[in-house]
Structure 1
Amino acid sequence: MDIEILILAQLMQGPKHGYEIKKNILFVMNNKKIINNNSLYPKLKQFEERGMVSKTMEEQEGRPNRHVYAITAIGSQVFHDTINRFTPELIEMDDEWSIRLAYYNLMNDETRYRLLDYRMTIVQDKEKRLEKLSHSVGESKYLMYSSELYFYTQNMIEKEKELISEMIEQLKDKPATID
């Protein structure tokens, strides 16, 4: 997973201190293992060294001073390049798909179409594999999985296909804009 996208996306929304960046990422991704201080602060330092973020000191009364990070033009360009660069193999990973979906509003329409097209193909492939699996197992009492898992997976695939189809329709109905 590309943690750079998550950090830079937070800063695209405005300057933030480290704890706020971490808290927001944990909330958006709903995954406690996705980021911690040992991954966040070295990345922020690296971004600062590369000119992608600036750091200022914020004084707090009765508390230790804290650093506030803001994205620079270079950081903004890196963010856009990174979020718009992906392969079908990358989008097959649910975390990467979730990241792109979380920051979908920051993508251009061409990238959105490509993202949705890749994911629809992946979901359709999952559906075909599930169908093959159900035919190969048949009515055997020695199922490789429970019928509950099969119906859950089938339902999730259908829901995701519906969502992607709706998103594609929304893009088609959207008035053309000049980038």
Structure 2
Amino acid sequence: MMNELFILGELMEEPQSGYDLRSAMQASLGRHRKISYGVIYPLLEKLEKDGLAEITDVSSEGKIKKITTITEKGKKRFFELMKQPVPNGAHNADIYLIKLDVMQHLSLDEQFALLDEFYKEQKYIIEDTQYSLKRLTEKDSKDHWYASKKLELRLQEANVALEWIENFKQELKKEW
């Protein structure tokens, strides 16, 4: 879901090459995630096979470049993926980043709903982290002290995300 959503979201902006899509995904997800062409190109071919995108050869500076364009069916699929709840799992944070990156294609109400969903996720992270911190403090040990420092970082990150969400919602209200 994550890679498909990202590519369809990027193609909502404009037709792009596999190279450009990979670069955009790398920038969006950060350097901690390595995005290979072995992921991008097979997915583009699948999207074309499923009728979600069209790949055409374009001549540019004497070279042939493959450019992918989203289809109407691809746009429908994009909106379906955007409306799906973010699943629990290892890529949860990345999926939120992708959705936040392309949410301008949603109605204002849908944007607020996505931000509210992200807000709830951060609140769950805070609750879970506070519970874990409490359990660690019940037994004093050097290992627990280090673990608690890591959890304090997670807590700070979630609190910063909550503040960011509130500020973003205020900016959206002013813009619209």
TM more than 0.5: yes
Moved more, 25-34 or 164-173: 164-173
Distance 1:50 1:156 in 2: 40
C-alpha change, 1:86 and 1:69, in structure 2 (3 Å) is same
C-alpha change, 1:16 and 1:175, in structure 2 (3 Å) is same
Distance 1:59 1:47 in 2: 22
Distance 2:93 2:13 in 1: 24
Paired residues in the alignment total 172
- Per the alignment, residue 120 of structure 1 pairs with 122
**What SS does structure 1 have at the residue aligned with 2:88?**
helix
Identity %: 17
- Per the alignment, residue 40 of structure 2 pairs with 40
- TM-score w.r.t. the length of structure 1 is 0.77
- Per the alignment, residue 151 of structure 1 pairs with 149
Distance 1:91 1:103 in 2: 21
Matched-pair contact (CA < 8 Å) for 2:17–2:66: yes
Q: Any idea what the Cα deviations from partners look like across 1:29-82, whole Å, max 9, x if unmatched?
A: 11465432222112111111222112221113333x111111122111211211
- Higher helix share goes to which structure? 2
Matched-pair contact (CA < 8 Å) for 2:15–2:69: yes
How large is the RMSD of aligned CA atoms in angstroms?
2.9
How many angstroms does 1:97 deviate by? 3.0
Q: Any idea what the Cα deviations from partners look like across 1:4-37, whole Å, max 9, x if unmatched?
A: 0121122112111111111111111114654322
Unpaired runs of at least 5, structure 1: none
Distance 2:169 2:148 in 1: 32
- TM-score w.r.t. the length of structure 2 is 0.78
